[in-house]
Amino acid sequence: MSKYNIIYILLGKQKEEEVVLGFIQYEKNKFIDMSDTVKTILDSKDVVFWKECDYFNKLGNFASLMYTTVTRKANLIYEQRVQPQLVHPIVILTNAYKMQYYDIDGIFDIASSNTTMVLVIEERLKELSKEFLAACRVRQNKAILSLLTRKQLKMVHIVHPATIQCYHSFDFHHNPHYGIRKTLLPYFKWILLMNDVSYLEYGDCEQYHTNKQITIYNNPVEYKFPFEEIYNTLRTHKLKSRKISNQYISYGYSSEYRSITGEPMLTTGIAHIKNIKKILGDTLPTLSALSKNLLKNYPDMSPCTNRRNKYSQRMGSNFNYHLNDVNIYEGLDISIVYSKYGLDPHCDVMNDWRDGYNFITVLKSTFHDDEVDDLVTISLICYTRKAIGDRLNAKSQINYNKY
């Protein structure tokens, strides 16, 4: 097996299931397709892979978690250390009995192609120094519980989706967030338990949740945002794509779009979108309604009137739109995510981190698209911009140095 770059192999025949669970560690090689290799080794084509497995492999006790999962209910175990010097230490978890019964179909996503996703937010410990590069690497590494590996995790927030949902939260510039299949949630909670991580869970049946970190409204009636109409318009365009959303449009102030003096300017990249004025006509008043709601729950946000008047209140002005009401957001995305692709771990590193401006608001709707046979979530994501905070800080320092 060493010729396939395999380091370690563990198999466990489950007592109560007609299945064999396996855990294989290997060195990546672009010339070897490990899924085909495993099928060859096991002499079986009926092999299903846990697609999120690599997301957890940065955890210090990852190998122990996998060992416990494979062997816990096994009456026949096969273990081989093919390259012993490279095998990660495996410590038998003494409290493995705390593992709830897990559904094999749930872990391997066999049962359904239309999978409900829950939002997970990792809350970072307060009073720590800013770590911009570490936040950027969350997306690069696709690492779940990355704050735990850095010993910076305070707790985890688990948000169940509603048909329509609005939430306000904070510090997404360094709080990793991602989607997890609802069917995987019991197993994920066991991993949290094995790592002594506390969590809060927000159900979709209660209309309202609030604390210092997040406020959630399930199925609010006050927002008349035409989700499906905008979705049907946007899906006719070839839009930008990225790992954290399948398609999106973005508008607002940007660090990459500045005047000759370095002043952040409103972007114009959405001008080619069909009915963009109608979309802005629906979106910008919604920003005002969301602003009022955020300020009702967190009145200390957006404290600088000059910053608000110079930037937030001018949203839409380069498309001849005038905001008639308060707005505290400096940028927005309209994002489309299909459940079969999920939401990868990431931090919103371009959001402002400064006190009073470290907020984000998301208004989203989830529905089934019969044409693609998948659940689709379309989100209006509203945020502040680090580029504006940096610019105001720089100008303040320049003015200070004059005296």
**DSSP helix, strand, coil percent of the chain (3-state; round to 5):** 30, 30, 40
Using only C-alpha atoms, the chain has a radius of gyration, in whole angstroms, of 24
Q: Please tell me the predicted confidence (pLDDT) of residue 99.
A: 63
Q: Please tell me the predicted confidence (pLDDT) of residue 115.
A: 78
Q: Please tell me the predicted confidence (pLDDT) of residue 403.
A: 28
Q: Please tell me the predicted confidence (pLDDT) of residue 130.
A: 86
Instruction: To the nearest 10°, report the CA torsion of 89, 92, 93, 97.
Output: 150
Helix axes 227-234, 276-297, angle to 10 degrees: 140
Q: Please tell me the predicted confidence (pLDDT) of residue 236.
A: 79
d(CA 232, CA 229): 5
pLDDT in tens, 334-385: 999 888 777 889 999 999 999 999 999 999 999 988 888 888 999 999 999 9
Q: Please tell me the predicted confidence (pLDDT) of residue 18.
A: 76
d(CA 252, CA 382): 10
| Tokens read off for 163 | 């048909």
pTM, two decimal places: 0.91
Are 246 and 336 contacting, i.e. CB atoms less than 8 angstroms apart? yes
Query: Which residue ranges of the chain lie beneath pLDDT 50?
Result: 244, 398-403
Q: Please tell me the predicted confidence (pLDDT) of residue 109.
A: 67
| Tokens read off for 131 | 């770590």
Q: Please tell me the predicted confidence (pLDDT) of residue 30.
A: 66
The three-point CA angle 172-259-234 to 5° equals 55
Q: Please tell me the predicted confidence (pLDDT) of residue 203.
A: 95
Q: Please tell me the predicted confidence (pLDDT) of residue 295.
A: 98
Q: Where are the domains of the chain?
A: 2-96, 117-226+280-396
Helix H or strand E encompassing 250: strand 245-258
- Give the residue ranges of DSSP H helices in 111-266: 132-141, 146-149, 185-194, 227-234
